[in-house]
Chain A
Amino acid sequence: MQYLLRRIVLIVPVLFGVSVIVFTIMHVIPGDPVRLMFAGTGATEEQIQAMRHALGLDRPLPVQYVNYVTRAIRGDLGQSIHFKQPVLQLILERMPATIELTLASLIIALAIAFPIGILSALKRYTFIDYIVMTGATLGVSLPTFWVGILLIMLVAVKLGWLPGFGRIDYEVHLQRITGFLLVDSLLTWNIPAFKSAFTHLILPALALGTAIATFSTRLIRSSMLEVISQDYVVTARAKGLHERVVIARHVLRNALIPVVTLIGVQIGNLLGGAVVTETIFAWPGIGRLVIQAIYNRDFLLVQGVVLFFALIRVTINLLTDALYVWIDPRISHV
């Protein structure tokens, strides 16, 4: 318990550190939001200075930072220069789309990785194992955008099986409550909307999920292999336990710890991967938002999104650690 509490308290300096780093990076890289805003409009110096002042960008950087942090603590992440809307609102509006995509991808990734990883560990150094490992290596090296475009060309255009972009058909009217379309359509018992949202989710989740699946497959395999050669597994087998029981009870449970860590890390990777996937599939999520924000040098929006991602990541790490304790009670004594 004390261990978890310590971890929670540690979130504060982590977020603080992240905010300093993002703030510095955004102000160090070349490019000025006000100049970009006026690119091609022929603004005078007066107008530019007036705009800088109106946006508070004329104050010294440390002052800007302190202002930012004191407001952020109160939940005010400032206003986006490009969208003229509160940063928090922009993020919250797009968050459900990203979470939906991330979770779907995770489910796909694990659904692929678990059976294949276990199978290849059990059949190690056989033909199956070689096929799986070659496939996984290939999978890791295929860029997501390439897989994404291929899926669109093949499944959406050539075969016409699934929609290739967006979240839901326009014709399907869905009352949005939570912003999670699958949830909303079930809440309002709108089956056509559920179907539409579900089919729209498949291709982007597949593109993002397979990239992660290949990683996970390798890790599950090696983690299994490590446990399989442990003494207690040999003992279990010597006791005459059925092989299925040995794998399920002794091997899998112990092999799970690094896998849980992996899932935690993968969610972070999924969020990062969402930037590319969302752009390709015109998915209205945070990844696409942050790309635009960076191009526009929309300082506060970039800072907001990065802080938000950081918060999600540390929270997931925390949950992962909590899960350890549950899977392996020995850890809490550390």
Chain B
Amino acid sequence: MIRLFFFNFMVIVALVSAMLPGLVSAAPLIQEGQTYTVQKDDNLWAIAEKYLGNGIAYKAIAAATNAKHEEDATFAVIDNPSLIQPGWKLFIPSAQEAAEFMVAPEPTGQIVIAQTADANTLDPKYLKGRQTQNVLRLVFDSLYHRDNNMKIVPWLATSYENPDERTWRFHLRRGVKFHNGNDFKANDVKFTLGRLLEDDSQFSTRNFVDRVEVIDDYTVDIITKEPYAAFMTRVVLWHMTDEEYFNEVGPEGFASKPVGTGPFKFVEWIKDEQMVLEANPDYWGGSPKIKTVIFKPIPENATRIAALETGDVDLITDVPPDYVDQAPEGVEIMTIPGTRAFYLGMNVNWKPFDDVRVRQAMNYAVNVETIIENVLNGLARPIDNPLLPEAFGYIPTPVYSYDPEKAKSLLAEAGYPDGFEMELDTQPPLKEIAEALAGQLSEVGIKAKVNIMEKAALYAKYEPGFSQTFLTSWGNSEADADGMLSKQFYSNRYRCNLLGPEGETGYGNTELGCYYTGYANAEVDAYIEAGARTVDPEKRKEYYAKALKIIVEETPWVFLYNPSEVYAKRTRVQGWVPRSDALIILDKAWVTD
């Protein structure tokens, strides 16, 4: 793919360099690409000036280095050209290649993307679900951003610092403009957050952000209520909104014609039919290569696949695993491990799951590999604890493996030599998994009755603790231990107070719905709290490692699997990669005809 790109490069280069003699000139121009190791006090502009004769060619160095990185990981990844580190290995392209790069081609072509549902709104304050996020992320930018490897990198802010442990001071990128021409400034950050803190906001921002202070036009302080180590995992979710424009058109006006700083501008939305976006050629991060992006919601799997095969659609999400082997010519399947952990929750205050040996036996009785192979067509990986390997704070905890004999002996020890009967609640998409689990459990004498119910009904049952066991999942797109542990294993999650006196345990509280498995351990709580408050990453890792060991040992979950995000695209779509957080980023993608 990269090779093809460079091939096209070379073909046009001759023409282009003839037309553009002035841009890259003078200086000892290099004829061939070469590697360069960053020295102390280097900056990309100066390097570009020295080797390519013009500082502005720094963009070509960054692009070429990033392209090289795909082939050879020893090359650096330059997310922010103003931040390069001594020791980084760069690739300086030849003068001709650089010249070609500097002539940014006009965005061309269109891509049609079919997701399972339409956006619920275009107002970032009310965004719900990844389908909406995918649309909004193209129109709006956040202060920091996750790159394709989930690393958090500077975006509308170029850097941040912590004057004290509750204050996050962001230095904003200068020269960024909203689609209507307004400048992006600190007051817009304050305005955006102000809306997220309102009563009818479903963002968790209001739980930890105390206030926002504008220092000057390009400096802004966000002050948290308490020290919050995972703060940056939240910053990437805030879509910066233009205060001036919003006040001019009002909330309805804004939702019907949103204005952001992103790579694409909003054009048209016909509900449940199509959402049309158009390239923003003046994007601060460089013009996107695709001119028109169209989202078409197609809820039915078979129809979405048909639309791809007929060529009406170029990229589809949520591809059923069994389609992977049937994809015809011209269709390419792309997968990446997602961020959701699937598990069977066991109510630890409900016999027989109050006995830790029974919970451990459940883990030994289940053969996750077989389920992945037979039900998920291999498109998942087993998990050994609640965190995925990519998450901050993960450590491997290879405690359980498929061992029915061990399961039986643990059951016998716990006083259930002949097994027992249990109920397993889940929702329709997980029916086959639930049945496979029930089949495996029956091998050790456990008779599981599977109850399939609609999602809303399932949540209403297991959240307040009315399910004996429940098959469900929890997403951790924050990729930080705090995002998972403080919500699933912290006894005081959502002020639930599971360790409080009788009657305050959150059990049966349908308003709050914080009970889940009812698992609570004061020691685990202490580690989770310490992990959230401590800023030093090494210290945090230690706390989480200790918490994980106890959680896995006492296992309120049967640890199951982490499914892949599966996409199918037409081969005409190039330069696009799936991301584990399931965001569709098109800044670098292009289409051929």
In the bound complex, how far is the Cα of B298 from the Cα of A179, in angstroms? 20
Excluding A30-B461, A31-B457, A47-B204, 10 further A-B contacts by CB distance (< 8 Å) are A29-B457, A31-B456, A47-B206, A94-B271, A160-B310, A164-B312, A165-B307, A280-B302, A280-B303, A281-B303
Interchain CB contact under 8 A, B300 and A53: no
A157-B306, A281-B303 known; A45-B512 Cβ under 8 A: yes
A46-B495, A157-B306 known; A295-B454 Cβ under 8 A: yes
Tell whether A54 is near chain B: CB-to-CB under 8 Å.
yes
Interchain CB contact under 8 A, A292 and B200: no
A residues near B433, Cβ cutoff 8 Å: none
Interchain CB contact under 8 A, A164 and B310: yes
B residues near A97, Cβ cutoff 8 Å: 273
Interchain CB contact under 8 A, B303 and A164: yes
In the bound complex, how far is the Cα of B454 from the Cα of A176, in angstroms? 37
A149-B302, A157-B306, A295-B454 known; A51-B199 Cβ under 8 A: yes
In the bound complex, how far is the Cα of B276 from the Cα of A156, in angstroms? 24
Interchain CB contact under 8 A, B474 and A40: yes
User: Which one of A32, A42, A165 lies within 8 Å of B298 (CB-CB)?
Assistant: A165
CB distance from A176 to the nearest CB of B (A): 8
A residues near B303, Cβ cutoff 8 Å: 149, 152, 164-165, 280-282
The A286-323 residues at the B interface (CB cut-off 8 A) are 288-289, 292, 295-297
B residues near A127, Cβ cutoff 8 Å: none
Tally of contact residues, B, Cβ under 8 A: 56
Residues of A near any B CB (own CB < 8 A)? 29-32, 35-51, 53-55, 82-85, 90, 93-94, 97, 149, 152-153, 156-157, 160, 163-167, 170, 176, 279-282, 284-285, 288-289, 292, 295-297
Interchain CB contact under 8 A, B459 and A166: no
Tell whether B297 is near chain A: CB-to-CB under 8 Å.
yes
Interchain CB contact under 8 A, A47 and B207: yes
Interchain CB contact under 8 A, A36 and B459: yes
CB distance from B397 to the nearest CB of A (A): 23
Interchain CB contact under 8 A, B271 and A93: yes
CB distance from B115 to the nearest CB of A (A): 11
CB distance from A155 to the nearest CB of B (A): 10
Q: Mark B302-340, 1 if CB is under 8 A from A, else 0.
A: 110011011010000000000000000000000000000
A residues near B126, Cβ cutoff 8 Å: 84
CB distance from A157 to the nearest CB of B (A): 5
In the bound complex, how far is the Cα of B487 from the Cα of A32, in angstroms? 19
Q: Mark B361-392, 1 if CB is under 8 A from A, else 0.
A: 00000000000000000000000000000000
Interchain CB contact under 8 A, B495 and A84: no
Interchain CB contact under 8 A, B310 and A157: yes
CB distance from A45 to the nearest CB of B (A): 5
A residues near B255, Cβ cutoff 8 Å: 84-85
B residues near A45, Cβ cutoff 8 Å: 494-495, 511-512, 514
- A179's nearest neighbour on chain B, judged by CB, is B270
In the bound complex, how far is the Cα of B513 from the Cα of A242, in angstroms? 76
In the bound complex, how far is the Cα of B121 from the Cα of A207, in angstroms? 31
Tell whether B440 is near chain A: CB-to-CB under 8 Å.
no
Tell whether B523 is near chain A: CB-to-CB under 8 Å.
no
B residues near A285, Cβ cutoff 8 Å: 272
Interchain CB contact under 8 A, A35 and B513: yes
Interchain CB contact under 8 A, A30 and B199: no
Residues of B near any A CB (own CB < 8 A)? 110, 112, 117, 120-121, 123, 126, 128, 199-200, 202-204, 206-207, 255, 270-274, 276, 294, 296-300, 302-303, 306-307, 309-310, 312, 454-457, 459-461, 463, 474-475, 483, 486-487, 493-495, 510-514
CB distance from A227 to the nearest CB of B (A): 43
In the bound complex, how far is the Cα of B204 from the Cα of A330, in angstroms? 67
CB distance from B175 to the nearest CB of A (A): 33
A39-B459, A42-B493, A282-B299 known; A170-B204 Cβ under 8 A: no
B residues near A90, Cβ cutoff 8 Å: 271
Interchain CB contact under 8 A, A31 and B200: no
B residues near A85, Cβ cutoff 8 Å: 121, 255
A44-B495, A165-B303 known; A295-B486 Cβ under 8 A: no
In the bound complex, how far is the Cα of B126 from the Cα of A54, in angstroms? 14
Can you give 22 contacting A-B residue pairs, CB < 8 Å? A32-B456, A35-B459, A35-B463, A42-B204, A42-B487, A42-B493, A43-B202, A43-B494, A45-B511, A45-B512, A48-B494, A50-B200, A54-B199, A54-B200, A84-B126, A85-B121, A157-B309, A157-B310, A160-B310, A170-B274, A284-B273, A296-B456
Pick the most buried of A31, A97, A281: most chain B CB atoms within 10 A of its CB: A31
Interchain CB contact under 8 A, B121 and A83: yes
CB distance from B401 to the nearest CB of A (A): 29
A residues near B513, Cβ cutoff 8 Å: 32, 35
Pick the most buried of A49, A279, A282: most chain B CB atoms within 10 A of its CB: A282
Interchain CB contact under 8 A, A279 and B300: yes
Interchain CB contact under 8 A, A37 and B207: no
A47-B206, A48-B512, A94-B272 known; A36-B456 Cβ under 8 A: yes
B residues near A176, Cβ cutoff 8 Å: 270
- A37's nearest neighbour on chain B, judged by CB, is B202
Interchain CB contact under 8 A, A32 and B117: no
Interchain CB contact under 8 A, B307 and A32: no
Interchain CB contact under 8 A, B494 and A42: yes
Pick the most buried of B121, B123, B493: most chain A CB atoms within 10 A of its CB: B121
B residues near A44, Cβ cutoff 8 Å: 207, 494-495
Interchain CB contact under 8 A, A82 and B474: no
A36-B456, A170-B112, A170-B294 known; A164-B307 Cβ under 8 A: yes
CB distance from A149 to the nearest CB of B (A): 5
- A86's nearest neighbour on chain B, judged by CB, is B252
Interchain CB contact under 8 A, B460 and A31: yes
Interchain CB contact under 8 A, A282 and B296: yes
Interchain CB contact under 8 A, A153 and B302: yes
A31-B460, A35-B513 known; A165-B312 Cβ under 8 A: yes
